[in-house]
Amino acid sequence: MVKTQKTEPNQTDRLLVIACGMIAREVLAVKQQLKLDHLELTCLPAEFHFYPDRIAPAMDKAIEKAKAEGYDHIFVGYADCGTGGLLDNVIEKHGVERMAGPHCFAFYQGMDAYAKVADGDMMSFYMTDFLCRQFEAFFIKPLGLDRHPELIKDYFGNYEKLIYLAQTDDPELDKVAEKAAIMLGLTYERRSTGYGDLTSELARAARGAA
């Protein structure tokens, strides 16, 4: 677990967000945007995106550690994220809350908006700003596509479309997403989502801690 930010020694009046490393940049952006000076952030490894069975036990330990350090207000910066309800068991155990929804691709779009497109997106491969920045490190090299491009059909053959959920307007990230769609043989769609429900959820958690 990587400690991203810690500022003051008195934790009792502060909000600790324990988040997926994939959304660390976005949490800090929302913190700055909303001037949530009492919000602190710590992250579990982004690679848990590929190993959802590791999320719940790691979160359990992280919350226990945070409480031992004196944090009274803790918010979990994860949706279910493939844990099959195991993360909710940890949340219930510790009496804390998490992001609503099945995964970050849903809360970035906003749960109401996601509900309208979820069925139509069943065959779509989602990318975010983080996944564009880390496309080579997260997909190309681990899957061996740089050495064996013939594996693309094995890994992505069931997808029809690549949807880039853009948190920011960055032409360089747009290029990555577009090139990824071409490489994977998928049609391309860009949706400008901003931070979606992450903003309102962090604002709500911060109000509860204030």
Does residue 44 register a pLDDT over 90? yes
Does residue 18 register a pLDDT over 50? yes
Write the pLDDT tens digit of every residue in 1-13. Answer: 545 444 444 666 8
What pLDDT is recorded for position 2? 46
Write the pLDDT tens digit of every residue in 68-101. Answer: 999 999 999 999 999 999 999 999 999 999 999 9
What pLDDT is recorded for position 115? 97
What pLDDT is recorded for position 12? 67
Q: In this structure, how many other beta carbons lie within 10 angstroms of the beta carbon of residue 138?
A: 19
The stretch 26-39 carries a mean pLDDT of 97
What are the structure tokens assigned to 66, written together?
């945070």
The pLDDT-based confidence of 206 (bands split at 50, 70, 90) is very high
Mean of all residue pLDDT scores within the chain: 93
What pLDDT is recorded for position 7? 44
Domains of the chain and CATH, by start: 15-105+195-209 (3.40.50), 111-192 (no CATH)
Distant-in-sequence, close-in-space partners of 42: CB < 8 Å, separation ≥ 6: 1, 2, 3, 4, 5, 6, 16, 17, 18, 19, 62, 66
